[in-house]
Structure 1
Amino acid sequence: MIRFDNVGLRYGSGPEILRDVTFHVHPGSFHFLTGPSGAGKTSLLRLLFMSIRPSRGLIFVFGENLADLAPAGRAALRRRIGIVFQDFRLLDHLTTWENVALPLRVMGKSESDYADDVTDLLHWVGLGNRIHAYPETLSGGEKQRAAIARAVIGRPELLLADEPTGNVDPAIGNRLLRLFVELNRLGTSVIIATHDYGLMEQLDAPRLMLQEGRLQVGAPQLSVR
Protein backbone atom coordinates (compact mmCIF):
# COMPACT_ATOMS: atom_id res chain seq x y z
CA MET A 1 0.00 0.00 0.00
CA ILE A 2 2.80 2.42 0.95
CA ARG A 3 6.43 1.96 0.00
CA PHE A 4 9.36 4.32 0.44
CA ASP A 5 12.55 3.32 -1.37
CA ASN A 6 15.65 5.27 -0.29
CA VAL A 7 13.73 8.53 -0.09
CA GLY A 8 15.60 11.74 0.57
CA LEU A 9 14.16 15.23 1.01
CA ARG A 10 15.73 18.64 1.21
CA TYR A 11 14.21 22.11 0.98
CA GLY A 12 16.10 24.26 -1.48
CA SER A 13 19.84 24.10 -0.91
CA GLY A 14 19.49 23.24 2.78
CA PRO A 15 20.47 19.98 4.48
CA GLU A 16 18.48 16.81 3.92
CA ILE A 17 15.39 16.61 6.13
CA LEU A 18 14.89 12.92 5.33
CA ARG A 19 17.74 10.58 4.45
CA ASP A 20 17.53 7.17 2.78
CA VAL A 21 14.10 6.43 4.26
CA THR A 22 12.86 2.97 3.35
CA PHE A 23 9.79 1.23 4.73
CA HIS A 24 6.69 -0.68 3.65
CA VAL A 25 3.20 -0.37 5.18
CA HIS A 26 0.59 -3.00 4.37
CA PRO A 27 -3.13 -2.26 3.86
CA GLY A 28 -5.17 -2.14 7.04
CA SER A 29 -2.21 -1.51 9.37
CA PHE A 30 -1.88 1.06 12.17
CA HIS A 31 1.44 2.84 12.79
CA PHE A 32 2.69 5.55 15.07
CA LEU A 33 5.30 7.88 13.56
CA THR A 34 7.46 9.27 16.31
CA GLY A 35 10.69 11.11 16.98
CA PRO A 36 11.86 14.49 18.32
CA SER A 37 10.94 17.84 16.83
CA GLY A 38 12.77 18.37 13.56
CA ALA A 39 13.17 14.65 12.90
CA GLY A 40 11.08 14.88 9.71
CA LYS A 41 7.68 13.52 10.77
CA THR A 42 5.59 16.28 9.20
CA SER A 43 7.71 16.21 6.03
CA LEU A 44 7.14 12.46 5.68
CA LEU A 45 3.36 12.94 5.95
CA ARG A 46 3.50 15.76 3.40
CA LEU A 47 5.29 13.44 0.99
CA LEU A 48 2.57 10.84 1.42
CA PHE A 49 -0.14 13.42 0.76
CA MET A 50 1.78 14.62 -2.32
CA SER A 51 1.97 18.24 -1.16
CA ILE A 52 5.75 18.07 -1.71
CA ARG A 53 8.02 15.86 -3.83
CA PRO A 54 11.09 13.93 -2.67
CA SER A 55 14.55 15.08 -3.70
CA ARG A 56 15.43 11.48 -4.50
CA GLY A 57 14.07 7.96 -4.14
CA LEU A 58 10.68 6.49 -4.97
CA ILE A 59 7.32 6.61 -3.16
CA PHE A 60 4.44 4.26 -3.96
CA VAL A 61 0.92 4.77 -2.56
CA PHE A 62 -1.91 2.36 -3.41
CA GLY A 63 0.52 0.76 -5.86
CA GLU A 64 1.05 4.00 -7.78
CA ASN A 65 4.50 5.50 -8.29
CA LEU A 66 3.88 9.11 -7.25
CA ALA A 67 6.56 10.35 -9.63
CA ASP A 68 4.56 9.02 -12.60
CA LEU A 69 1.25 10.68 -11.75
CA ALA A 70 -0.18 13.59 -13.71
CA PRO A 71 -2.01 16.31 -11.71
CA ALA A 72 -5.39 14.62 -12.25
CA GLY A 73 -4.02 11.34 -10.98
CA ARG A 74 -2.57 12.97 -7.90
CA ALA A 75 -5.90 14.66 -7.17
CA ALA A 76 -7.73 11.33 -7.51
CA LEU A 77 -5.28 9.66 -5.14
CA ARG A 78 -5.65 12.43 -2.56
CA ARG A 79 -9.41 11.79 -2.44
CA ARG A 80 -8.61 8.36 -1.01
CA ILE A 81 -6.59 9.89 1.84
CA GLY A 82 -7.78 11.68 4.96
CA ILE A 83 -5.29 14.05 6.56
CA VAL A 84 -5.17 16.06 9.78
CA PHE A 85 -2.73 18.98 9.57
CA GLN A 86 -1.20 20.66 12.62
CA ASP A 87 -2.57 24.00 11.39
CA PHE A 88 -6.08 22.49 10.90
CA ARG A 89 -6.76 24.18 7.52
CA LEU A 90 -10.45 24.72 8.14
CA LEU A 91 -12.19 27.01 5.65
CA ASP A 92 -13.09 30.26 7.41
CA HIS A 93 -16.27 30.90 5.43
CA LEU A 94 -17.78 27.52 6.32
CA THR A 95 -19.37 26.46 9.60
CA THR A 96 -18.03 23.51 11.59
CA TRP A 97 -20.71 21.28 10.07
CA GLU A 98 -19.95 22.48 6.55
CA ASN A 99 -16.20 21.98 7.01
CA VAL A 100 -16.69 18.40 8.16
CA ALA A 101 -19.15 17.67 5.35
CA LEU A 102 -16.86 19.11 2.67
CA PRO A 103 -15.12 15.83 1.66
CA LEU A 104 -18.50 14.21 1.06
CA ARG A 105 -19.66 17.17 -1.03
CA VAL A 106 -16.48 16.94 -3.11
CA MET A 107 -17.22 13.24 -3.66
CA GLY A 108 -20.58 14.26 -5.13
CA LYS A 109 -22.75 12.77 -2.39
CA SER A 110 -26.19 14.14 -1.63
CA GLU A 111 -26.53 16.07 1.63
CA SER A 112 -29.59 14.04 2.55
CA ASP A 113 -27.40 10.92 2.53
CA TYR A 114 -24.76 12.22 4.95
CA ALA A 115 -26.40 14.94 7.06
CA ASP A 116 -27.09 12.67 10.03
CA ASP A 117 -23.62 11.10 9.87
CA VAL A 118 -21.91 14.51 10.02
CA THR A 119 -24.07 15.64 12.93
CA ASP A 120 -23.55 12.37 14.84
CA LEU A 121 -19.78 12.52 14.38
CA LEU A 122 -19.63 16.12 15.60
CA HIS A 123 -21.53 15.12 18.73
CA TRP A 124 -19.18 12.17 19.22
CA VAL A 125 -16.06 14.38 19.15
CA GLY A 126 -17.66 16.84 21.57
CA LEU A 127 -18.67 19.55 19.10
CA GLY A 128 -22.40 19.06 19.16
CA ASN A 129 -22.88 22.59 20.51
CA ARG A 130 -20.52 24.11 17.91
CA ILE A 131 -22.12 22.79 14.73
CA HIS A 132 -23.04 26.23 13.40
CA ALA A 133 -19.90 28.02 14.64
CA TYR A 134 -17.28 29.43 12.29
CA PRO A 135 -13.58 28.58 12.71
CA GLU A 136 -12.64 32.03 14.02
CA THR A 137 -14.84 31.40 17.07
CA LEU A 138 -13.41 27.95 17.86
CA SER A 139 -10.64 27.22 20.34
CA GLY A 140 -7.52 25.39 19.22
CA GLY A 141 -8.81 22.12 20.64
CA GLU A 142 -12.18 22.57 18.93
CA LYS A 143 -10.50 23.26 15.60
CA GLN A 144 -8.41 20.13 16.09
CA ARG A 145 -11.50 17.99 16.65
CA ALA A 146 -13.27 19.53 13.65
CA ALA A 147 -10.24 18.81 11.46
CA ILE A 148 -10.16 15.20 12.64
CA ALA A 149 -13.88 14.77 12.00
CA ARG A 150 -13.41 16.15 8.48
CA ALA A 151 -10.54 13.74 7.85
CA VAL A 152 -12.45 10.62 8.89
CA ILE A 153 -16.03 11.36 7.75
CA GLY A 154 -15.53 9.76 4.33
CA ARG A 155 -13.86 6.61 5.72
CA PRO A 156 -10.65 7.12 3.73
CA GLU A 157 -8.45 4.21 2.74
CA LEU A 158 -5.50 5.93 4.39
CA LEU A 159 -5.56 8.36 7.33
CA LEU A 160 -2.57 10.58 8.09
CA ALA A 161 -2.71 12.55 11.34
CA ASP A 162 -0.04 15.04 12.45
CA GLU A 163 -0.08 15.44 16.25
CA PRO A 164 -3.87 14.91 16.36
CA THR A 165 -4.10 15.11 20.16
CA GLY A 166 -1.71 18.01 20.65
CA ASN A 167 -4.41 20.56 21.57
CA VAL A 168 -6.90 18.44 23.50
CA ASP A 169 -7.09 17.15 27.05
CA PRO A 170 -6.30 13.48 27.82
CA ALA A 171 -9.94 12.40 27.94
CA ILE A 172 -10.66 13.79 24.48
CA GLY A 173 -7.34 12.39 23.26
CA ASN A 174 -8.38 8.91 24.37
CA ARG A 175 -11.72 9.29 22.63
CA LEU A 176 -10.01 10.36 19.41
CA LEU A 177 -7.67 7.38 19.61
CA ARG A 178 -10.70 5.09 19.87
CA LEU A 179 -12.09 6.78 16.76
CA PHE A 180 -8.87 6.06 14.87
CA VAL A 181 -8.86 2.45 16.07
CA GLU A 182 -12.47 1.93 14.98
CA LEU A 183 -11.72 3.43 11.58
CA ASN A 184 -8.76 1.05 11.31
CA ARG A 185 -11.00 -1.91 12.15
CA LEU A 186 -13.20 -0.89 9.23
CA GLY A 187 -10.19 -1.20 6.92
CA THR A 188 -8.48 2.21 6.95
CA SER A 189 -4.69 2.24 7.22
CA VAL A 190 -3.65 4.76 9.89
CA ILE A 191 -0.38 6.63 10.44
CA ILE A 192 -0.32 8.97 13.45
CA ALA A 193 2.63 11.31 13.99
CA THR A 194 2.90 12.09 17.69
CA HIS A 195 5.19 13.06 20.58
CA ASP A 196 2.62 11.69 23.04
CA TYR A 197 4.17 8.53 24.46
CA GLY A 198 1.22 8.13 26.82
CA LEU A 199 -1.03 7.88 23.77
CA MET A 200 1.24 5.35 22.06
CA GLU A 201 1.41 3.18 25.16
CA GLN A 202 -2.35 2.66 25.01
CA LEU A 203 -2.11 0.74 21.75
CA ASP A 204 0.10 -2.15 20.74
CA ALA A 205 0.99 -0.75 17.32
CA PRO A 206 4.39 -0.62 15.59
CA ARG A 207 6.32 2.63 15.57
CA LEU A 208 8.16 4.30 12.73
CA MET A 209 10.92 6.07 14.64
CA LEU A 210 12.67 9.02 13.01
CA GLN A 211 15.90 10.48 14.32
CA GLU A 212 17.61 13.29 12.44
CA GLY A 213 15.81 12.33 9.25
CA ARG A 214 16.56 8.60 9.37
CA LEU A 215 14.44 5.64 10.37
CA GLN A 216 16.12 4.00 13.33
CA VAL A 217 17.49 0.49 12.85
CA GLY A 218 15.92 -0.56 16.15
CA ALA A 219 12.41 0.58 15.24
CA PRO A 220 9.93 -2.25 15.93
CA GLN A 221 8.72 -4.19 12.89
CA LEU A 222 8.38 -1.62 10.14
CA SER A 223 6.36 -3.89 7.86
CA VAL A 224 3.22 -5.38 9.37
CA ARG A 225 -0.10 -6.84 8.35
Structure 2
Amino acid sequence: MVPPAVQFENVGIRYGMGPEVLRDLSFSIPPNSFQFLTGPSGAGKTTLLRLILLSIKPTRGLISVFGKDVSRISNDELTDVRRKMGVVFQEFRLLDHLTTYENVSLPLRVQGKDEASYRNEVVELLHWVGLGDRMHVLPPVLSGGEKQRAAIARALIVRPAMLLADEPTGNVDPSLARRLLRLFVELNRQGTSIVIATHDLGLMDLVDARRLVLGDGYLHIDG
Protein backbone atom coordinates (compact mmCIF):
# COMPACT_ATOMS: atom_id res chain seq x y z
CA MET A 1 0.00 0.00 0.00
CA VAL A 2 1.11 3.55 -0.75
CA PRO A 3 1.80 5.39 2.54
CA PRO A 4 0.16 8.74 3.31
CA ALA A 5 1.93 11.78 1.91
CA VAL A 6 1.93 13.15 5.47
CA GLN A 7 1.14 11.54 8.82
CA PHE A 8 0.96 13.43 12.15
CA GLU A 9 0.63 11.56 15.45
CA ASN A 10 -0.02 13.60 18.62
CA VAL A 11 2.13 16.48 17.36
CA GLY A 12 2.53 19.61 19.42
CA ILE A 13 4.75 22.67 19.06
CA ARG A 14 5.63 25.57 21.32
CA TYR A 15 8.04 28.46 20.98
CA GLY A 16 10.45 28.85 23.85
CA MET A 17 8.82 28.31 27.24
CA GLY A 18 5.40 29.50 26.09
CA PRO A 19 2.25 27.42 25.75
CA GLU A 20 1.79 25.10 22.79
CA VAL A 21 0.53 26.99 19.76
CA LEU A 22 -0.56 23.72 18.12
CA ARG A 23 -1.41 20.65 20.15
CA ASP A 24 -2.45 17.03 19.75
CA LEU A 25 -2.43 17.09 15.96
CA SER A 26 -3.23 13.62 14.59
CA PHE A 27 -4.18 13.44 10.93
CA SER A 28 -2.98 12.18 7.58
CA ILE A 29 -2.86 13.59 4.06
CA PRO A 30 -3.53 10.82 1.55
CA PRO A 31 -1.46 10.64 -1.63
CA ASN A 32 -2.98 12.41 -4.64
CA SER A 33 -5.42 14.31 -2.39
CA PHE A 34 -6.58 17.94 -2.26
CA GLN A 35 -7.25 19.83 0.95
CA PHE A 36 -7.66 23.37 2.16
CA LEU A 37 -6.09 24.48 5.44
CA THR A 38 -8.16 27.22 7.02
CA GLY A 39 -8.84 29.03 10.27
CA PRO A 40 -8.69 32.57 11.67
CA SER A 41 -5.59 34.76 11.41
CA GLY A 42 -3.01 33.63 13.94
CA ALA A 43 -4.46 30.11 14.18
CA GLY A 44 -1.16 28.57 13.09
CA LYS A 45 -1.71 27.75 9.40
CA THR A 46 1.80 28.82 8.37
CA THR A 47 3.31 26.96 11.35
CA LEU A 48 1.53 23.77 10.29
CA LEU A 49 2.77 24.14 6.72
CA ARG A 50 6.33 24.59 7.98
CA LEU A 51 5.99 21.45 10.10
CA ILE A 52 4.95 19.52 6.99
CA LEU A 53 7.85 21.05 5.06
CA LEU A 54 10.19 19.98 7.89
CA SER A 55 11.63 23.47 8.19
CA ILE A 56 10.73 23.47 11.91
CA LYS A 57 10.61 20.56 14.35
CA PRO A 58 7.70 19.65 16.62
CA THR A 59 8.08 19.84 20.38
CA ARG A 60 6.50 16.40 20.64
CA GLY A 61 4.83 13.75 18.55
CA LEU A 62 5.73 11.94 15.34
CA ILE A 63 5.70 13.21 11.75
CA SER A 64 6.11 10.96 8.70
CA VAL A 65 6.41 12.34 5.17
CA PHE A 66 6.19 9.99 2.15
CA GLY A 67 6.41 7.07 4.57
CA LYS A 68 9.60 8.24 6.30
CA ASP A 69 9.75 8.99 10.03
CA VAL A 70 11.41 12.40 9.92
CA SER A 71 12.96 11.96 13.37
CA ARG A 72 15.07 9.10 12.02
CA ILE A 73 16.12 10.17 8.53
CA SER A 74 19.55 11.44 7.53
CA ASN A 75 20.25 14.91 6.16
CA ASP A 76 20.54 13.47 2.66
CA GLU A 77 17.14 11.77 2.98
CA LEU A 78 15.69 15.01 4.34
CA THR A 79 16.94 16.86 1.26
CA ASP A 80 15.38 14.21 -1.00
CA VAL A 81 12.03 14.53 0.80
CA ARG A 82 12.02 18.32 0.44
CA ARG A 83 12.82 18.05 -3.27
CA LYS A 84 9.48 16.27 -3.71
CA MET A 85 7.64 19.33 -2.37
CA GLY A 86 6.64 22.50 -4.15
CA VAL A 87 6.32 25.44 -1.78
CA VAL A 88 4.63 28.84 -2.11
CA PHE A 89 5.02 30.98 1.01
CA GLN A 90 4.22 34.65 1.43
CA GLU A 91 7.91 35.54 1.18
CA PHE A 92 8.49 34.85 -2.50
CA ARG A 93 12.30 34.39 -2.44
CA LEU A 94 12.79 35.36 -6.07
CA LEU A 95 16.38 36.15 -7.06
CA ASP A 96 16.56 39.81 -8.09
CA HIS A 97 19.36 39.28 -10.63
CA LEU A 98 17.38 36.67 -12.58
CA THR A 99 14.46 37.34 -14.93
CA THR A 100 11.02 35.92 -14.27
CA TYR A 101 11.71 33.15 -16.77
CA GLU A 102 15.06 32.37 -15.15
CA ASN A 103 13.56 32.31 -11.66
CA VAL A 104 10.81 29.91 -12.70
CA SER A 105 13.18 27.60 -14.57
CA LEU A 106 15.85 27.66 -11.85
CA PRO A 107 14.76 24.38 -10.15
CA LEU A 108 15.12 22.59 -13.50
CA ARG A 109 18.55 24.14 -14.11
CA VAL A 110 19.65 23.00 -10.64
CA GLN A 111 18.58 19.47 -11.62
CA GLY A 112 20.98 19.73 -14.57
CA LYS A 113 18.32 19.71 -17.28
CA ASP A 114 19.04 21.22 -20.69
CA GLU A 115 17.05 24.37 -21.45
CA ALA A 116 15.79 22.97 -24.73
CA SER A 117 13.96 20.26 -22.79
CA TYR A 118 11.93 22.66 -20.64
CA ARG A 119 11.77 26.06 -22.36
CA ASN A 120 8.35 25.55 -23.97
CA GLU A 121 6.87 24.23 -20.73
CA VAL A 122 8.15 27.23 -18.74
CA VAL A 123 6.82 29.69 -21.32
CA GLU A 124 3.42 27.96 -21.38
CA LEU A 125 3.18 28.03 -17.59
CA LEU A 126 4.12 31.71 -17.45
CA HIS A 127 1.33 32.49 -19.93
CA TRP A 128 -1.08 30.46 -17.84
CA VAL A 129 -0.34 32.47 -14.68
CA GLY A 130 -0.60 35.75 -16.60
CA LEU A 131 3.10 36.53 -16.85
CA GLY A 132 3.65 35.89 -20.54
CA ASP A 133 4.58 39.52 -21.15
CA ARG A 134 6.71 39.75 -17.98
CA MET A 135 9.02 36.77 -18.42
CA HIS A 136 12.09 38.83 -19.34
CA VAL A 137 11.87 41.44 -16.56
CA LEU A 138 13.60 41.36 -13.17
CA PRO A 139 11.67 40.88 -9.89
CA PRO A 140 12.13 44.48 -8.64
CA VAL A 141 9.97 45.58 -11.58
CA LEU A 142 7.15 43.15 -10.71
CA SER A 143 4.18 43.98 -8.52
CA GLY A 144 3.45 41.94 -5.41
CA GLY A 145 0.82 39.93 -7.23
CA GLU A 146 3.15 39.25 -10.14
CA LYS A 147 5.89 38.07 -7.79
CA GLN A 148 3.37 35.77 -6.16
CA ARG A 149 2.42 34.24 -9.51
CA ALA A 150 6.10 33.79 -10.41
CA ALA A 151 6.63 31.96 -7.11
CA ILE A 152 3.64 29.72 -7.87
CA ALA A 153 4.99 28.92 -11.34
CA ARG A 154 8.43 28.10 -9.89
CA ALA A 155 6.84 25.69 -7.40
CA LEU A 156 4.74 23.98 -10.08
CA ILE A 157 7.37 23.62 -12.80
CA VAL A 158 8.98 20.58 -11.12
CA ARG A 159 5.62 18.75 -10.89
CA PRO A 160 6.05 18.07 -7.16
CA ALA A 161 4.62 15.08 -5.32
CA MET A 162 3.09 17.56 -2.87
CA LEU A 163 2.37 21.29 -3.11
CA LEU A 164 2.17 23.48 0.01
CA ALA A 165 0.76 26.94 -0.67
CA ASP A 166 0.17 29.72 1.89
CA GLU A 167 -2.54 32.13 0.66
CA PRO A 168 -1.47 31.65 -2.99
CA THR A 169 -4.36 33.76 -4.33
CA GLY A 170 -4.20 36.51 -1.71
CA ASN A 171 -2.77 39.22 -3.99
CA VAL A 172 -4.65 38.53 -7.23
CA ASP A 173 -8.09 39.46 -8.53
CA PRO A 174 -10.97 36.92 -8.27
CA SER A 175 -10.80 35.95 -11.95
CA LEU A 176 -7.11 35.09 -11.78
CA ALA A 177 -7.62 33.38 -8.42
CA ARG A 178 -10.10 31.01 -10.05
CA ARG A 179 -7.68 30.39 -12.91
CA LEU A 180 -4.87 29.55 -10.48
CA LEU A 181 -7.22 27.25 -8.59
CA ARG A 182 -7.98 25.38 -11.82
CA LEU A 183 -4.23 24.96 -12.28
CA PHE A 184 -3.94 23.45 -8.79
CA VAL A 185 -6.87 21.12 -9.50
CA GLU A 186 -5.25 19.95 -12.74
CA LEU A 187 -1.95 19.36 -10.95
CA ASN A 188 -3.86 17.28 -8.38
CA ARG A 189 -5.44 15.22 -11.16
CA GLN A 190 -1.95 14.43 -12.38
CA GLY A 191 -1.05 12.98 -8.98
CA THR A 192 0.15 15.83 -6.76
CA SER A 193 -1.15 16.15 -3.21
CA ILE A 194 -2.30 19.74 -2.65
CA VAL A 195 -2.47 21.68 0.64
CA ILE A 196 -3.66 25.27 0.25
CA ALA A 197 -3.84 27.53 3.30
CA THR A 198 -6.53 30.18 2.82
CA HIS A 199 -9.25 32.09 4.62
CA ASP A 200 -11.18 32.68 1.38
CA LEU A 201 -14.44 30.77 1.83
CA GLY A 202 -15.58 31.62 -1.68
CA LEU A 203 -12.46 30.03 -3.13
CA MET A 204 -12.91 26.89 -1.06
CA ASP A 205 -16.50 26.53 -2.23
CA LEU A 206 -15.26 26.11 -5.81
CA VAL A 207 -13.62 22.74 -5.11
CA ASP A 208 -15.05 19.65 -3.42
CA ALA A 209 -12.08 19.14 -1.12
CA ARG A 210 -11.44 18.26 2.49
CA ARG A 211 -10.95 21.18 4.88
CA LEU A 212 -8.43 21.12 7.71
CA VAL A 213 -9.68 23.73 10.18
CA LEU A 214 -7.35 25.16 12.83
CA GLY A 215 -8.72 26.87 15.91
CA ASP A 216 -7.52 27.34 19.49
CA GLY A 217 -4.46 25.21 18.74
CA TYR A 218 -6.43 22.17 17.60
CA LEU A 219 -7.21 20.74 14.18
CA HIS A 220 -10.70 19.74 13.05
CA ILE A 221 -11.36 17.95 9.76
CA ASP A 222 -14.39 18.84 7.66
CA GLY A 223 -15.16 16.38 4.87
TM-score range, shorter chain: over 0.9
Q: Residues of 2 paired with 1:213 and 1:38: CA distance?
A: 10
Are 1:28 and 2:28 matched, yes or no?
Answer: no
Output the amino acid matched with 1:7. V
Are 1:123 and 2:123 matched, yes or no?
Answer: no
With 39-48 and 66-75 compared, the bigger mean Cα shift is at: 66-75
Partner of 1:166: 170
Of 114, 117, 121, which residue of structure 2 is paired with 1:113? 117
1:1-225 superposed matches below 5 A: 1-216=5-220, 219-221=221-223
SS where residue 4 of structure 1 aligns?
strand
SS where residue 68 of structure 1 aligns?
coil
With 196-205 and 90-99 compared, the bigger mean Cα shift is at: 90-99
SS where residue 71 of structure 2 aligns?
helix
Q: Deviations over 1:91-136 (max 9, x none)?
A: 2221111111011112221111001110110011100111011111
Q: Deviations over 1:48-75 (max 9, x none)?
A: 1111111111111100111112221111
Identity %: 63
Q: Deviations over 1:127-174 (max 9, x none)?
A: 011101111111010011000000111110000000000000001100
Q: Residues of 2 paired with 1:178 and 1:32: CA distance?
A: 14
Output the amino acid matched with 1:220. D
Q: Residues of 2 paired with 1:6 and 1:35: CA distance?
A: 20
With 204-213 and 9-18 compared, the bigger mean Cα shift is at: 9-18
Q: Offset of 1:16 from its aligned partner?
A: 1.3
Q: Residues of 1 paired with 2:18 and 2:48: CA distance?
A: 17
TM-score (norm 2): 0.96
- For the 8 Å contact 1:38–1:212, the answer to whether it is kept is no
With 135-144 and 103-112 compared, the bigger mean Cα shift is at: 103-112
Following superposition, which runs of at least 4 residues in structure 1 exceed 3 angstroms of deviation? none
Output the amino acid matched with 1:212. D
TM-score (norm 1): 0.95
Output the amino acid matched with 2:178. N
SS where residue 23 of structure 2 aligns?
strand
Q: Offset of 1:15 from its aligned partner?
A: 2.2
With 67-76 and 24-33 compared, the bigger mean Cα shift is at: 67-76
Output the amino acid matched with 1:198. G
Q: Offset of 1:38 from its aligned partner?
A: 1.0
How many residues matched? 219
Q: Offset of 1:191 from its aligned partner?
A: 0.4
Q: Residues of 2 paired with 1:130 and 1:22: CA distance?
A: 43
SS where residue 165 of structure 2 aligns?
strand
RMSD of the alignment, in Å?
0.9
SS where residue 21 of structure 1 aligns?
strand
Output the amino acid matched with 1:36. P
